[in-house]
Chains A and B, each alone.
Chain A
Amino acid sequence: MNSLAISVSNLTKIYGERSAVSQASFEVPMGTVCGFVGPNGSGKTTTIRMLLGLITPSAGTGSVLGESISHPQRYLPQVGAMIEGPAFYPALTGAENLKVLANLGGYPISRVQGLLEQVGLGDRGGGKFKTYSLGMKQRLGIAAALLPQPKLLILDEPTNGLDPSGIQEIRELLKELASDGTTVFVSSHLLSELEMISEYLVMLRLGKVLFSGRTQDLLSAQQPILVAKPEYAIDLGKIVEIARVCGHEVSVVEGAANISAPSDWSASLNRMAFEAGVTLSTLTSVLPTLEETFFEMTNNESAGGE
């Protein structure tokens, strides 16, 4: 059995002079939740469309569930997808919209009601799609993606328009699916959400893959930040000065000095602060969040590219 749900190598899509995706290579192991992140226009949706056979790549190769992406009919029956937001027929009800897709894929119609209930639309399936709120449309899109009971679920911004409880429900749903062995490949702008659920991560910028691998590997490779807050705000300048003299980058955030330094430097900082007559009320070492790492990496990349 193939251990990779998705594998692409040098995948490229060129529109005229513009390269939407440029030699992207990454792998997504089976049974994991993989986050797919990148700023708007970074090529996420184009990549997803190539994986689903909607767009023909200009170059490169790829496979989904062990089958080449040039033969999507071989793997799509086992793939559920929601691409670039939910798209349905406005004049049909939510349930009818799902039944159209169930007919099309040859799935039992009896599955529809269960799916509507699973995504929290059990009592609204009879309402027309055009009357749905953005969050309800999004839920219907997820229900449609779950219709084939997929081995691989590809979701493009599934939490768009959802309220915090809706986001939490989707997060739990994705975790549950992953625990049942479904591979989830999910793109989102909510990096904090992805950090909570993604074991793997593919990071894209300007059509190029910046990182692909375990989320933990990415985060632990980052320089930790020492957060030092003096007892009296007036002493903040002295902390900043100590850090700079010792050659560490420092920024001030909400009355505290955020110092890019190894966590074992905290003892030295504490001592030097004491010698300078400053009492620290907070001194902790934190790893950067996915969001901070993402901005750090994309900024470095753009600085390097300029």
Chain B
Amino acid sequence: MFHVFLAETRKLRRPTLLFSTILLVLAISGLFTSLLYLLINSRDGNGRRGQSITALTLSKSNGLVSGFVSTATLLGVVALCIFAAQTAQEYTFGTLRNLLVRQPSRMKLLMGKYLSMIFFALIMDFLSLIVSVSISYGLAGHAHVSTVAWSTAAGFHALAQSFWNVFLATIGFGTFGMILGLLLRSPISSIAIGVIWVLIVESLLGAVVKGADKWLPGTLIGAVGNGGDAGLTYSRSLGVSLAYLVVGSAVVALLFKRRDVAN
């Protein structure tokens, strides 16, 4: 599996993918964190969905990661696109047959591919964290936010916990993308369906159908990244999204193992 991991990492580090992803991630983290501090006194709010996050809140031990946590869903969408594209492109390019000739164990191939993409997501989240934390420290004075609590033990714990949650959410969204990629075998279709579902369909369903957000996979994974949301506890979000992803992954893994490679 290590050989598969190395091979996949080689594909993921191609400059066009690597640099465009880094730029995108830096832009998302930079924008979200900057707006959190620059719009701190805005009447339209400075958080998600017009929410106001005050200087007092940001001064708490978990205030440092507020900006980073708010990027969880978008980082997840980026991961969804990458996981979906990296998986489905093997079908569209016809390269799956080459891979299977060199690594006939389909499960090893799938796992190696998955692990390499998780590694990529880890780097992506880490870069995002660094940018967000740097901007938070840089803009804290401007927004009259105290940074004292950020460097306490509780602050470091919050930092580690938030990174873990965002990382889990990124893997969750990525896994969703990979499932779509294996099912649809087309990067464009899987990315389009995945993004539209997470960003549009779930928002509409959540707004129209009462209680739907407790069962929608994208909402639940996003809640994991936020460490739990209003009406969605962290443990429930983690449990239900894990159940969705395990079942989905098992189905597509079985398909991948059994399906003839005829293209």
B209 is an interface residue with CB less than 8 A from chain A = no
Q: Does the CB pair A91–B97 fall under 8 Å?
A: no
Q: Does the CB pair B16–A53 fall under 8 Å?
A: no
Least Cβ–Cβ distance between A118 and chain B, in angstroms: 18
Residues of B within 8 A of A101 (CB): 7, 98-99, 102
Known: A54-B260, A73-B104, A73-B105. A91 touches B14 (CB 8 A): yes
Q: Does the CB pair A104–B262 fall under 8 Å?
A: no
CA A46 to CA B262, docked complex, whole Å: 8
Q: Does the CB pair B100–A105 fall under 8 Å?
A: no
A83 is an interface residue with CB less than 8 A from chain B = yes
Q: Does the CB pair A72–B11 fall under 8 Å?
A: no
CA A54 to CA B262, docked complex, whole Å: 7
CA A79 to CA B93, docked complex, whole Å: 22
Least Cβ–Cβ distance between B137 and chain A, in angstroms: 37
Least Cβ–Cβ distance between A47 and chain B, in angstroms: 13
CA A49 to CA B3, docked complex, whole Å: 23
B72 is an interface residue with CB less than 8 A from chain A = no
Counting contact residues on chain A (CB < 8 A from B), the size range is 20 to 34
Residues of B within 8 A of A53 (CB): 100, 104
Known: A89-B11, A105-B102. A54 touches B3 (CB 8 A): no
Q: Does the CB pair B102–A104 fall under 8 Å?
A: yes
Bitwise, B224-263 to A at CB < 8 A (1) or not (0) is 0000000000000000000000000000000000001110
Comparing A92-100, A201-209, A277-285, the segment that makes contact with chain B is A92-100
A76 is an interface residue with CB less than 8 A from chain B = yes
A87 is an interface residue with CB less than 8 A from chain B = yes
Residues of B within 8 A of A73 (CB): 104-105
Q: Does the CB pair A76–B97 fall under 8 Å?
A: no
Q: Does the CB pair B103–A105 fall under 8 Å?
A: yes
Known: A54-B261, A55-B261, A91-B16. A104 touches B103 (CB 8 A): yes
Q: Does the CB pair A96–B10 fall under 8 Å?
A: yes
10 A-B pairs in the complex with CB atoms less than 8 angstroms apart: A53-B100, A54-B101, A55-B261, A55-B262, A89-B89, A91-B16, A91-B17, A100-B11, A103-B6, A104-B103
Residues of A whose CB lies within 8 Å of any CB of B are 46, 49, 52-56, 72-73, 76, 79, 81, 83-85, 87-92, 96, 99-101, 103-106, 144, 147-148
Beyond A55-B261, A87-B98, A104-B102, 4 additional contacts (C-beta under 8 Å) are: A46-B262, A53-B100, A91-B17, A103-B3
